[in-house]
Amino acid sequence: AQTVTQSQPEMSVQEAETVTLSCTYDTSESDYYLFWYKQPPSRQMILVIRQEAYKQQNATENRFSVNFQKAAKSFSLKISDSQLGDAAMYFCALQNQAGTALIFGKGTTLSVSS
């Protein structure tokens, strides 16, 4: 069965600092896709970053980067120079094949303090 586990229900960080959110997953597929979604209080699901499993290079989007460890089935999100607007629930998600449904973790609530 495909599963996604986020072991940190809550995390906190100070503005301008760096925080890392953890995610592990399980899949029998060799090619798959991993995502981090942000859900602010508005409840909108916003794609933060995407990683294709066949790519060895870690994805980066501005202040957001991932540490993708395929053998360990680990996919952590690093947020650098944290901002107040980063406060949200973050979901890790797995997609086994293109065009199929996402499997989500339970989420990590990130709070940012000034």
Whether the Cβ atoms of residue 111 and residue 87 lie closer than 8 Å to each other: yes
Q: Is 109 in the site for other proteins (CB under 8 A)?
A: no
Strands (E), 27-104: 33-39, 46-52, 60-61, 64-69, 74-79, 88-95, 103-104
How many angstroms separate the CA atoms of 81 and 78, rounded?
10
Whether the Cβ atoms of residue 76 and residue 23 lie closer than 8 Å to each other: yes
Which listed residue (16, 83, 101, 111) binds other proteins by CB under 8 A? 101
Which listed residue (13, 25, 33, 110) binds other proteins by CB under 8 A? 33
13 or 103: CB nearest other proteins: 103
Rounded to 5 degrees, what angle do the CA atoms 77, 68, 90 make? 25
Kindly indicate which of the ranges 13-21, 61-69, 73-81, 105-113 contains the residues binding other proteins, using the contact rule CB under 8 A.
105-113
Which listed residue (10, 14, 47, 83) binds other proteins by CB under 8 A? 47
* Least distance between other proteins and beta carbon 1 (Å): 12
Site residues (CB under 8 A) for other proteins?
Answer: 33, 42-47, 50, 52, 91, 95, 98-107
